[in-house]
Structures are given as structure tokens and as C-alpha cells.
Amino acid sequence: MGSGQKRSVDPLRIQIGGIAGRQKQPLNRVRTTKYTWLTFLPFNFYEQFRRAVYFYFLIITIVSFFVNETISPYVSLLPLLFVMIITALKEGLEDLSRSKSDRLVNTARVTVIRNGKEEVIDSQFIVPGDLVVVRNDGDLPCDLVLLQSSGAERKCFVTTANLDGETNLKTVCVPPNYELSPKSQDFIVCEAPTADLYSFNGRLELGTDGAGGGGGDHALPLTIDNLLLRGVRVKATDRVVGCALYTGMHTKLQLNSRYTGNKSASSEKYINRFMVALILGMVVVVLVLYLIERHKETKVVPNMPYLGPPTDFNSALQIFEDFLSFLLLFNYMVPISAYMNIELYRIFGMYFMHNDLHLYDEETDQPCRVNASNLNEELGQVNILFSDKTGTLTKNLMKFVDCYVSDMNFHLQSTYLLCETTGEQIDLEKLDAEASVFFEALTVCHTVEVLQEVGVKPLESSESVSERSHLMGKSIVDRYQASSPDEMALLEGCANLGLVYQGQSNNTLRICRYPSAEELQFERLHVLEFSSERKRMSVILRDRSGTIWLYCKGAEDAIFPRCKTSHRLQQTDDQITKYAQRGLRTLAVARRTLTEEKWANFEELYRRANTQLSNRNELITECYETVEIDLDLLGATALEDALQEQVGETLEALQAAGLKIWVLTGDKVETAYNIGLACRHIPPGSRQHFIVNVTDPEELQTRLQEIEAADPEVLVVDGTTISTLLTHAPRQFADLALHCRAVLCCRLSPLQKSEIVTLVKRRKKHITAAIGDGANDVSMIQEAHIGIGIAGREGKQAARCADFAIARFEMLRRLLLVHGHYNSQRLAFLVLFYCYKNIIITGCMALFQVYDLFSATNVYNSLYLWLFDFVYISFSFTYLSFSDKEYSEETLLSHPELYKRIAHNRQASMRVFCLWMLNGFVQCFTIFYFTYAVLNDENVLFNMGQPASFQTFGTMLITIIVIVGNLKLLLVARYMSYVNFAMIPAQIVAFMLTTYLYNLVTSGELYDVYNQFLTSLPLWLFTVVCSAACLLPDFAVKAVQDMFRKMPPAGKPAV
């Protein structure tokens, strides 16, 4: 135990460019296949036999080879082999495709530096410590620490679209003050590989001999900013050199690719319930028939000497054999081939969604993607929807519209500010000193980079004003690369006013003020990174006078507690509340000065924290807290984020369909609330209740009881209160919230989103779905029963990790109301019809036992049992289950309340199952006794005067079963196409053709039986009358149902 754990947490120690020990290092070989040529059959069959039904049929098949010849072993063996071969073939082809993809990746040619010389090798032969060369537009073959770059400031731009789908460029830096030398013996010490794409801890030990040594004063910290991940692409940089760190299956990309969903649909419950009911029914039938057989063996058989000498029916072997004979005879009642048809249905359902043009976004070339087809039918069972706000309900296209500074509110109008109080239009030059500082803070407190084209030198400060003006208006702003749309919007707004961020060189930020062309320069000393827990970011700068400033911006609840007490705090807070009431996103901005001593203390504290391999993030956060205090509040900004198209109509339709919608967001309460009103998540005039900033458990309990007594419709809660609720009153909160039509949870962290989903998911009667577009939504999406990702502006990581991926929120309406409805309804029909048809065919077997002394004799020829599932009836009803639809797509969209009719799998309840089984019993009684009546009194039915044989009796039964089973589809179908109509007679003809051909085989049991059947007029008349007698009750029931069926009122066509 101890050793295993130790290996997982021990840090790695890798010599840069080292040759010693290379033989022992793991290669960069990627393997995503599940099997090898040797392990495919045993492993695949093992996986399949883990299904209880498959294992049951395996045991039955084995037993059938040793028990009497009641029924051919091939009746069990052939369907089992067919289903297993199809499943194995499907998985084998998928694995072969993965193997070919692996081969392409592993044999890609890459350049490495070994012994001071560049070599070109296959990617799979890279080992940790190798120096890998990557050029512009090249993909990274493994995880590298960047050690050399031809880019300005020794930086390198990369795009991470293959990792998380984000298309904006990101910056990776060479460790500060490090120069790569072929003669140095430097080591990288880092944490073991993890799947976290956004975290990396390590240090670069300079000039050590590798004997141990902890790095001390000769160590440089390594962070995620120094790491180039496998799968990213180098952009706008001619050449980079990195040291291979994590290779092969240990790269962060591969560790993330190993995620596989382990979700199962609620339909599995009713399928298992039906299977258990059939198995129990089979056991009861077998037990009753066996006991009757025991009675016959004792009382009747001794009086029939022509049957031969009686067997020793009391011997244990005979008892066991007799019981198993009945079990083998009726094992057909459990439909193993149903699982194959269910998989086919899911594949077709995935195909329909992927090719639905209404779910295709032409702008992004994004179709609907299905990552978990086993959840197709679950789309029709959702009753709780969790949704992110930013980028999901809104577009995440920010525009800087308002700001509050110098105790006044300003509205940005193109190149000037409009004062709300006086109505005066103010240029940047006319602002007072405090307002100027505020806008300067916005242009320096960020992490935006200005992209330089490869081979183009950055502009020098001596260029002409006209060139600068041109770049300000077009080039520079267009080349901003921001990780946050908020920062991009703020810089674009400042540029429109005339304060343009022009980039940085040697950690010097350059800002130009127009029209005077005055240039401001700041030395950037440190960036205190933003995180969802901190809700703020800061920069430490030195201005031209040598003064050190800390600028900070973030959520007001993270900034205000760190500001000095002043009247401006309350005034700014009031204005932020007004912004939020208009649905605007808000940020507070503040600053402070640092003395040289405080800066030196911070730098030393940060250096120590940043070289630790354990608890690094916690230590860095503590370090940040020492300087982000005693801030002077400068003002606040307001950004507008437009709603997605059709978001209001979509939410209204989903609420009408019976879904309760929870919006989980990190925004301020007022902002989220007003967005909720604007997008109709919160119905106007509804009974609304707020629980905000309540942390006392007793007060919270009292508040929950008060709200519950008031019969709430809308509940609004903030993150602070959620923390207390999840700790002290999770059940009461869930009970209250689940009674509301809409719930809005604000100021949440990603972890809190996931915890809320988990809380509701534990209430077994609810099926949850979660939809989001950002990496911060992944935990919520993966936790819900169904995860739906939007390939949005925050990247595609949510879409990659989700069960279903769409391009826009409005498509969710069609995904649930149309595809969810159809998939849920079709699977229920598929499973119920499978059980029904098996009841008919095995029911006739059971009734025949009454007339064969309960001898476990099979009434059908083995050919009929072999082909019944795959030729006689399977294609017609399987195709119908793929295409049937009770309502048109337009009706489902315009009448979302129809979604409620399929909720909680009502169409596959035990009541519906029992009605189908009852129908099957009635029809099998009708078929058997009609046939028995025809043959009992006068069985001379053939033209030449011959009596009917035993094989004729079985043929008569199976003929009616095939005809009734196929024609019943005409009565239960709600949508019939020409293909449906063609397949029904085609299946009947297929039965007649196969039976006729087999009847020509002279050595077969059916020799000449079907020839006589086809030439007998009484048997044709029997076929017509018996089929009509079976279907007449069904026709009458359907006619009555159609008379009283409630059709939805005619409505407007869905948008």
C-alpha cells in the first residue's frame, strides 16, 4: 500500500538533454486501443458476458447440449452467437480505427537535439529530458517545458483548440533569467503527471550534479505559464525548444482523454424490470409444468405400456434433466436479441440527431454531436434543467457601456463619455485626475497580449502619430489576444476614448494617449492571477517616477472588503446595484502604493511559495493576501452581454413542458436576477423569495420555513448562503427549491454548481440535465444525469466532456421536445413489442404441453425458432421503432405540454407492460385453440385426402403468429411510411419463402409439408379466419381509443 501511494506522489527529476538513463525512460508512444490481437476475443467476450442475460443464455446453451433433445441447442446458440459477433465486430472496427489513428500519431516525424545535434525521429521515440524543436504552426508531440523561443520577450504564442476548444492565443514564457546551454547540467523537478490542464508545479535546478539537492537559491520556479502541452499548436513564433517532460500516456491530454462516462439511462430500470418479470413468469410456468409432468409420470404413464418401460423419475439426475428440459424449452421467453436491436435503435437515434439540419449551426459548422448514445431516450425524461448563464443564456460578447468614477456615472458613446447627471459630453482630455487614473488602471490591469505577425518587427516608439492613429483604429485593437472577453471589452472601450494599450516589451507596458500622442510607460513587476475562488486579479507596476503601484479589479464582494473605509464604498455599491438591475456585468477597480520594502518582502515570500511542489497554490494565495489590502477604491465598470437568440422562447417552452429550470451563475445577484427577468426564466408577477447573505444556521432554518409557508414560485439564493445551506440544511433546501418553478443561484464557484446538481440528483425521482459552455461548467455537466455542452466562446471543453453537444441554447428546445420525445417513445415500443411477440410464440408451446403429456416437446420446427427473430418479424417492427412518431415535429414544438405525457417513463410502466402481455396471452390462446379445433375433429385437410402431420400443426401455428405479429404493426403504428408498408408483406413473404425452400430438403423434418399446406384451400381459409379473429379485438380497441383520443389544439407553427 505504502509503496504504491509513494510512487504516485513522488516528484519527477529529469535532466535537461541528459543521455544517462534514457533507456529507462518511458517512450512517447500513445495507445488508445482497448484490445490487442491476442486479447481481443477473451477480453471482449468477458465484457459481454458480464451482462447477466448473456451469461444466462450461455449457461442455457451449454446445458442444452447435454439434456434431452427437447429443443435443438442451436436455438439458443445461434441468437447468442449472432448478437455477440455483431457486438464484437462493432467494437473491433472501432478499436481498429483507434489503432490506425495511434499509428499516425506515433510515427509523426519530429526534431530533437541530442548530443548538440538536431535529429529527426519518430514521435514515439521521444523520452523525458529530450530537447524537442517545434516550428511555427507545428503541433506539440508531448508536454514540454519551454526553454528557448525566437519570439519577442522569449515568449511563444499557442492555440489550445485541440485541448479545450478555445481559439484565442495564449502566451507561454521561458523561465525568467534562464539561458539554455548545451554544456549545463540542469534538472527539472516537478509533480507527477495529473489531468489538470490549468495547474503545474515544478522547479528548474541550475547547475546541479543530479545527486539530490533541493534547489534552494539556484532554483527557478516553473508554473503552467512555462508548460507547452501536447495537442497545442505553436503560432506566431518561428522556433521554440522545450524539454520533454510528460510523454505518451502520461501527458495531460491523454490523462484527460481517458475520461469515459459511466451513466446509464432510466430506461435500463424498466428493461431490467420487464426481463425479471419474464424470467419469473418463465420459472413459474416451468415449475407448474414440471409438477404436472411428475404427476403424469406417476399416475398416467404406467397405464400406457406402449410408451415403453417407465423411467426412474425419482432419481436426482432424472429430476434435474426433466426440469432443465422445460427451462430450455421456454428460455425463448427472454429476448436476448432485444439488446442488439436496442443498440441499433440507439445508433439510428444518434444518426438522426447528428444529421438534423435544425441542430446544425452553419456559422460554426457545428452539428449536434452525441457522445453517449445510451442516453438518447433519457432526453425525453428530464424534469430538472441546470443552466449556466454567461455564454449559455447570453452571448458572452461584452461591450463596455457604463462606468462610475469621481462620484459620477458615465455612459460610453463611441469616442466620448456622456455624464448622466449633467448630460455633458466629455472627452478623455477633459477628465479630472481621478478619472484619468481610473482609465489608466483599466489599460494596465490585465493580461492581454498584442499579437505580432511572424517575421514582422514590433513597432518602435518613434513611429509617427499618423501610423499610431491608424493602428489604434484598426490594427492594434484587432490584434489584442485576451483570455477574458471582459478584458477585451474594457481595452476596446478605452481605445475608443483615446487611451490605447500598445503592448509590452521587456515587461514595460506602453500606453498611448490620443490625440496628444503622449506615451505612458509602466514596468510590470508581477501579475496576481485571477481565479474563480479569488474573483479578482491584480498587477504590480512601477511608474516613471519609481513609485510602485498595485492595481486590482474584480467582483465587488472581493474588492470592497479589501478597500479602506470611505463614503465612496457605499455610493459605488449603490451604483453597481443599479447596473445589476439593468442586467449588466460589473467590476470594481482599486489601487494602492507599495514601498520598496513591502515589494521586496512580497517578492521573497512569493519566490519561496512558488518553488514548493506541495500546497503551492495555497501558499501563493496567502502571499497575495499580504498585499491586496488597504486599497483605494477608484470606481466601477459595467459591461453588457446580449441574450442568445430565442432564449426566452426556449425557456418558456421548456417550462411549459414541465421542466423546472435552475440557473447557476457566478454573477452578482442583481445582474443574474435581471437577466432572468429579461430571458423569461423568472415569470413576471410570480411569487419571488430571496435568501441572500444569510450564514447563521438558525436564521436560515427560520427563513426556509417562512418561504415554504408562502408557497414560493421563484427562489433566488447567493453563493454565501448556498455554502451554509449545503452544510446545515441540504434536505430542507432541496425540498423547498424543488417546489419552485424557477431557481436562481448566484455568485457560485464551479464546485458549488456541481454540489447543487449532486444534491438534487440524489432525489431518485428526478432526472437532471445540465447545460453550459465553459470549462467551469464541466463538473456540473458531468455530474448531471445528462450533460449538454455548448460549443461557445468560452471554448469547447464543455462540449467535449458532455454527453450531447449543440451550438446554441435555442437548439435545446428541439433536442428535448422532439428527439427526446421520439427516442423515449420508440424505445418503449421496441421493448414492449419484443416481449409481446415472445409471449405469443412461447405461450403456444406452453399450451401444447397439455396435449403431449407434459413431455417438454417443442411444437415448432427448430428452423422457425432460429429465423423468427431475425427474418420473420424483426425487420418490420424494428424499422417501425426507428421511425414511428405519434405527433409531428411541428406539433411537439408548438405544444411543449406533450412532453409531460412521456415523463417518468409512463409509456413503459408496469401497467402498460401487463396490458401488452395480456394481449399476447389472449392472442396465443386464440391462435392455439383455433388451430387445435381445425385439427381435432377432422384433420384430413389436404387435397389428396392425407391427414395433417405434427409438423403441419407447428407450421399452422407459426404461420398465424408471423401474420398476426406483422399485421399488428398496422394497428399500433402512429406513423407509417411506404417503407413500413412494404416491409410488412416482405417479412411474411420471407417466412413463406424460407419455409418453402426448407420443405424441399428431402432429409429435413418439413419435407413436402409446406407444399401440401400451400395447396390446401381449408388451410388458407383457416389462416384468414384465425388472423382476423386475433386482430379483431385489437382493431375494436384502437377504434374506441381513436374516438376518445385528445388531440392537441391547432397552434402556430414552431419557430
Q: Cite the active site residues.
A: 388
Q: To which residue does cell 420508440 refer?
A: 826
Contact 584/671 with Cβ under 8 angstroms? yes
CA of residue 339 relative to chain centroid, distance = 23
Phi, psi of 516 (to 5 degrees): -75, -15
Q: Which of 851, 853, 847 is nearest to 297 (CA)?
A: 853
Cell of 352: 438522426
Exposed e or buried b per residue across 932-962, where buried means at least 16 C-beta atoms within 10 angstroms of its C-beta: bebbeeeeebbeeeeebbebbbbbbbbbbbb
Alpha-carbon torsion 77, 78, 80, 86, what sign? positive
How far is Cα 225 from Cα 483, in angstroms, rounded to an integer?
13
Secondary structure class of 531 (helix, strand, coil): coil
CA distance 703 to 1052: 43
Long-range pairs for 865-869: beta carbons < 8 A, 24 or more residues apart: 865/71, 865/72, 865/75, 865/332, 865/841, 866/74, 866/75, 866/78, 866/79, 867/991, 867/994, 868/841, 868/958, 868/961, 868/962, 869/79, 869/335, 869/337
Q: Which of helix, strand or coil describes residue 1043?
A: helix
Q: How many CA atoms lie within 13 A of 826 on its CB side?
A: 30
* Block residue for cell numbers 450533460: 787
Task: Give the DSSP H or E segment for 204.
Answer: strand 202-205
Q: Which of 685, 681, 750 is nearest to 716 (CA)?
A: 681
Buried b (16+ CB within 10 A) or exposed e, 217-240: eebbbbbbbbbbbbbbbbbbbebb
* Farthest CA pair distance, the chain: 123
Question: Could you tell me if 955 and 948 are in contact, meaning their C-beta atoms sit under 8 angstroms apart?
Answer: no
Residues in the chain: 1055
Compute the distance between CA of residue 161 and CA of residue 169 in angstroms, rounded to an integer: 9
Question: By C-alpha distance, which of 400, 494, 476, 480 is closest to 439?
Answer: 494
How many Å separate Cα 446 from the centre of its chain?
33
Residue type, 371: N
Give the CA dihedral 709, 715, 721, 722, nearest 10 degrees.
Answer: 110
DSSP 835-883: HHHHHHHHHHHHHHGGGTTT----SS-HHHHHHIIIIISHHHHHHHHHH
What distance in Å separates the CA atoms of residue 864 and residue 990, rounded to the nearest whole number? 12
Residue 25: exposure state from Cβ atoms within 10 A (0-12, 13-18, ≥19): middle
What is the rounded end-to-end Cα distance, in angstroms, of the chain?
A: 60
> What one-character-per-residue DSSP string does 502-528 give?
EEEETTEEEEEETTTTEEEEEEEEEEE
Radius of gyration of the chain (CA): 37
Name the grid cell of 369: 454531436
Task: Give the C-alpha separation, 335 to 458, whole Å.
Answer: 72
Neighbours of 451 (CB within 10 A): 16
Minimal CA–CA distance to 437: which of 327, 590, 214, 223?
A: 590
